[in-house]
Amino acid sequence: MKADIKNYSDLQLCITRFYELLATDEMLNPIFYDRLGHGNWTNHINKIVDFWDTVLFAGTNYKGQSFLPHATMQLEQKHFDQWLALFAQSINENFEGPKAEEAIAKAKTMAILFMSKINYYKENGKTPLL
């Protein structure tokens, strides 16, 4: 039996693995490289770990608005579906339990919310406040 996600270090493992998977994914890799460049993603990964620490453990290091970087991207449901699949894989490879399940459930909720907002802006000719 695998352990559950317990702390920041466990989140680092999950998120680092997610970006390893993403680096070889034909659909998502170009999107992330377009946004983040081809260099070192360490700062971005650390920011995302801080985000998930806030979501799962009420951490206080994340500063930002999670939707805004995605607001003007040309994302479709297939992108979120693939993101969710890679995210779940990055967790399930090493962890199981209530916190691991919570992380995957919250990721699904975020994907639904983000896609809903993106579709709203597209369908109504609106521009998000950046």
Separation CA 113–CA 119 (nearest Å): 10
**117 vs 74 pLDDT, higher one:** 117
What pLDDT was estimated at residue 27? Answer: 94
What pLDDT was estimated at residue 66? Answer: 81
In CATH terms, the fold of domain 8-124 is Globin-like (1.10.490)
For residues 78-99, give the mean pLDDT: 97
Separation CA 94–CA 38 (nearest Å): 27
Q: Is the pLDDT of residue 48 over 80?
A: yes
Torsion angle, alpha carbons of 113, 117, 118, 124, to 10: 150
First-to-last alpha carbon distance for the chain, in angstroms, is 44
What pLDDT was estimated at residue 130? Answer: 54
What pTM was computed for the model?
Answer: 0.89
Mean model confidence pLDDT for the chain: 89
Q: pLDDT by residue (tens digit) across 4-28?
A: 999 999 999 999 999 999 989 999 9
